[in-house]
């Protein structure tokens, strides 16, 4: 029995016993969307999903009774805010068995999402993370970048994957105990892959489930002012923190060439290069290179750590 399976063995074994919590972070600028999301969580079939809402430097609107909440004095970033939400369910979320991360402008269109997640986690004790399918609420289209694998042409195909979508996911709380929480210093960009690699290295599996859907309006990540800087800086941090030394230049060299091949605007390229340099000059946190068997596992799953 693997370490994850052994750890999960003492947890709930029947779907109706598996406790779910949901973490929503918000900057207070989408009250209508936040309320609709909360209602969609409360409408889920089966045992109630516990809710935790984190205000990122913003006051929260009135929330339904029983919702755990905190208003932070400042925006601590996406991974930092989600970590605060995890702790609202006790240390590493131990009051529940798994935590859903949901974007505050998202919506669960079906009432069976919680049931599907409970069934998935209890059927596979080694399953650590589930990534949902994100679909535009008007068109139903799933963007390729929202399918967390290289072969992304068929978003309706579920599969084992090597990363997940941060705002449309569920993580078993034992993963936090064994692999740690999200890297708060990333602020945003690539924090999910950092946790995914550590979870895989601890022996957990990650599934992309096309039947668990989150509605989310189609947007571009480049709308954030610091997008290109953070993407580059955090890509370097991701490699420095997690990859064996041999793979660090291979991984970063590949992404440097891919970025140039995509012909970003001069402004975007300058921000990207500045972030790339910052990734080398700024502290990245604790380095824990993955084991070689994890490198092989990533390769077998179709995503060797060179891309």
Q: Would you give the DSSP letter of residue 107? A: B
CA distance 210 to 155: 7
CA distance 197 to 181: 12
Q: What is the SS3 assignment for 53?
A: strand
CA distance 279 to 87: 28
What integer pLDDT is reported at residue 223 of this predicted model?
Answer: 52
| Closest C-alpha to 234, from 202, 275, 268 | 275
As a whole number of Å, the CA-based R_g of the chain is 19
Q: What is the SS3 assignment for 175?
A: helix
Q: What is the SS3 assignment for 215?
A: strand
Quick check: 29 pLDDT over 80?
yes
- pLDDT tens, position by position, 190-230: 999 999 999 999 999 999 999 999 999 987 665 555 899 99
- pLDDT tens, position by position, 93-118: 999 999 999 999 999 999 999 999 99
Are 93 and 176 in contact, with CB atoms under 8 Å apart? yes
Strand blocks (E) in the chain: 20-26, 50-56, 68-72, 98-103, 127-135, 159-160, 168-172, 205-215
Q: What is the SS3 assignment for 35?
A: helix
- pLDDT tens, position by position, 48-87: 999 999 999 999 999 999 999 999 999 999 999 999 999 9
Rounded to two decimals, what is the model's pTM? 0.94
Q: For residue 92, name the pLDDT band (cuts at 50, 70, 90).
A: very high
Are 183 and 236 in contact, with CB atoms under 8 Å apart? no
CA distance 277 to 137: 38
| Closest C-alpha to 165, from 217, 223, 254, 100 | 100
What integer pLDDT is reported at residue 9 of this predicted model?
Answer: 43
| Closest C-alpha to 99, from 209, 23, 180 | 23
219-251 core/surface letters (b: 16 or more CB in 10 A; e: else): eeeeeeeebbbbbbbbbbbbbbbbbeeebbebb
CA distance 55 to 71: 4
């Amino acid at each position: 029995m693997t370490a994850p399976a052994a750890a999960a063995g003492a947890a709930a074994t029947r779907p109706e016993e598996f406790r779910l919590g949901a973490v929503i972070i918000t900057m207070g600028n989408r009250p209508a969307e936040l309320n609709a999301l909360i209602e969609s969580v409360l409408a889920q079939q089966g045992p109630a999903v516990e809710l935790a809402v984190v205000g990122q430097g913003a006051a929260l609107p009135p929330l339904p009774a029983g919702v755990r909440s905190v208003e932070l004095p400042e925006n601590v970033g996406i991974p930092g805010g989600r970590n605060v939400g995890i702790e609202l369910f006790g240390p590493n979320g131990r009051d529940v068995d798994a935590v859903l991360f949901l974007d505050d402008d998202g919506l669960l269109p079906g009432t069976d999402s919680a049931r599907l997640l409970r069934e998935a986690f209890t059927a596979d004790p080694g399953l650590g993370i589930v990534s949902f399918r994100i679909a535009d609420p008007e068109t139903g289209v799933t963007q390729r970048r929202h399918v967390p694998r290289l072969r992304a042409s068929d978003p309706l195909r579920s599969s084992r994957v090597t990363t997940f979508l941060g705002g449309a996911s569920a993580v078993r709380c034992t993963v936090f105990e064994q692999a740690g929480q999200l890297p708060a210093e990333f602020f945003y960009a690539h924090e999910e892959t950092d946790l995914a690699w550590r979870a895989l290295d601890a022996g957990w599996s990650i599934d992309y489930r096309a039947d668990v859907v989150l509605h989310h309006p189609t947007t571009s990540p480049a709308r954030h002012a610091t997008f290109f800087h953070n993407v580059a800086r955090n890509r370097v941090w991701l490699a420095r923190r997690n990859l064996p030394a041999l793979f660090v230049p291979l991984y970063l060299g590949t992404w440097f060439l891919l970025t140039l091949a995509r012909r970003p605007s001069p402004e975007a390229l300058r921000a990207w290069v500045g972030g790339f340099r910052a990734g080398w000059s700024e502290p990245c946190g604790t380095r824990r290179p993955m084991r070689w068997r994890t490198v092989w596992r990533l390769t077998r799953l179709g995503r060797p750590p060179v891309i």
